Structures are given as structure tokens and as C-alpha cells.
């Protein structure tokens, strides 16, 4: 009987020591740090601010062609990982609104673009940045056929960039749909 009491006391002491050791170790661990945006994400800061764009649309699958104007208001989402863009457009087919989100996928090492507009369309694209040129590629279906689009933005200065929107049907050659210029509003 004495032996059982001693054994129970030893087990209690050992268990208590293990619990204390675990508590000390958990307190010694550094607290997890909030993630911070990397340099690729920070590069998206180029787009922050108010912008005004003008472009010429070519006649084609997006309408009769003509002048397109847009105003954009871009800001960092809290946390600084995504850029939120609200756009108002005036096109030959009518006026519209678009909400866009720019980000960076570190796993895929690619920029991301997601857009939703007032015509019920949703688009996502993958982007690259080479020097001062952003290129966004998207794949979708139009009229039951696969379509690729390419939107190129070339930084001309800290306050302006040129734009070019192209489309390829069935893997064919790229056709220019629109070209323009966007300028930061002071």
C-alpha cells in the first residue's frame, strides 16, 4: 500500500514537471507575426490614386467601336495586400461600373486580377511585370468558343501609362480591340 502511494506521488510529480515544462516552452515561443506585403505586392502601389483613361475601341465583338473614357479610384485594401479599384466607364455601348482587385499570388509567382462589372460579367486574369510593362492574360468563352485576351499596360511615367487590349480566338493571332492612355488625376 505504501508503495502505491509513493508511486502515485512520483507520477504526480513527473506529470506536474512535464506540464510546467510545456508551459515554459510555450511562453518562450515567439508570438506569430502578422504577415507583411512583399516587394511584388508593394509594386502594385503604382496604381494607387485617381486615374482618367481614354481609349479608342475598334469595331468587333465588343461593339461598334468608338471612344471609351473611364475614371478610376484605386486604394489599398486594409492590410496592404490588395488594390481595390472602382471604375466608371463610358463606352459606345453605354455607361458601366466595374470593381477590380489586384493582388499577387506568391505560390504561383504571378499577379492576380479579378473584375466584376455592371453588365453581369466576371473576369480573372494572371499578370506579369517585366520592367515597366504589365501584361494580363485571361481565358474565357465567347459564343461557345474559347477566347484569350491580353491587356498590356506600359508605364510611361509615374503618372501615365498606355493600354492595349487584344483578343485571340481559337489560338489564332492577336487582334487589337482597344488602345489608349491613362493619366493620374492631380
User: pLDDT tens digits, residue range 73-91?
Assistant: 999 999 999 999 999 999 9
Domains of the chain listed by start with CATH number? 39-184 (2.40.128.20)
Over residues 91-106, the mean pLDDT reads 95
22 pLDDT above the threshold of 80 = no
Lowest mean pLDDT segment, chosen from 71-85, 110-124, 160-174: 160-174
Q: Which residues are CB-contacts of 92 (< 8 A; sequence separation ≥ 6)?
A: 57, 63, 64, 65, 66, 67, 68
pTM to 2 decimal places: 0.79
Tell me what pLDDT residue 32 has.
81
Amino acid at each position: 500500500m505504501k508503495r502505491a502511494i509513493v508511486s502515485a506521488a512520483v507520477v504526480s510529480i513527473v506529470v506536474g514537471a512535464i506540464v510546467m515544462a510545456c508551459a515554459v516552452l510555450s511562453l518562450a515561443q515567439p508570438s506569430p507575426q502578422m504577415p507583411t506585403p512583399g516587394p511584388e505586392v508593394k509594386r502594385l502601389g503604382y496604381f494607387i490614386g485617381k486615374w482618367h483613361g481614354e481609349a479608342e475601341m475598334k469595331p468587333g465583338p465588343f461593339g461598334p467601336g468608338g471612344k471609351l473614357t473611364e475614371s478610376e479610384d484605386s486604394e489599398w485594401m486594409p492590410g496592404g495586400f490588395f488594390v481595390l479599384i472602382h471604375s466608371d466607364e463610358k463606352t459606345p455601348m453605354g455607361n458601366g461600373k466595374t470593381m477590380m482587385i489586384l493582388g499577387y499570388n506568391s505560390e504561383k509567382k504571378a499577379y492576380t486580377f479579378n473584375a466584376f462589372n455592371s453588365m453581369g460579367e466576371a473576369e480573372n486574369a494572371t499578370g506579369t511585370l517585366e520592367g515597366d510593362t504589365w501584361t494580363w492574360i485571361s481565358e474565357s468563352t465567347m459564343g461557345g468558343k474559347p477566347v484569350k485576351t491580353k491587356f498590356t499596360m506600359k508605364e510611361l511615367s509615374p503618372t501615365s501609362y498606355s493600354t492595349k487590349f487584344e483578343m485571340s480566338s481559337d489560338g489564332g493571332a492577336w487582334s487589337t480591340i482597344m488602345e489608349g492612355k491613362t493619366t493620374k488625376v492631380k
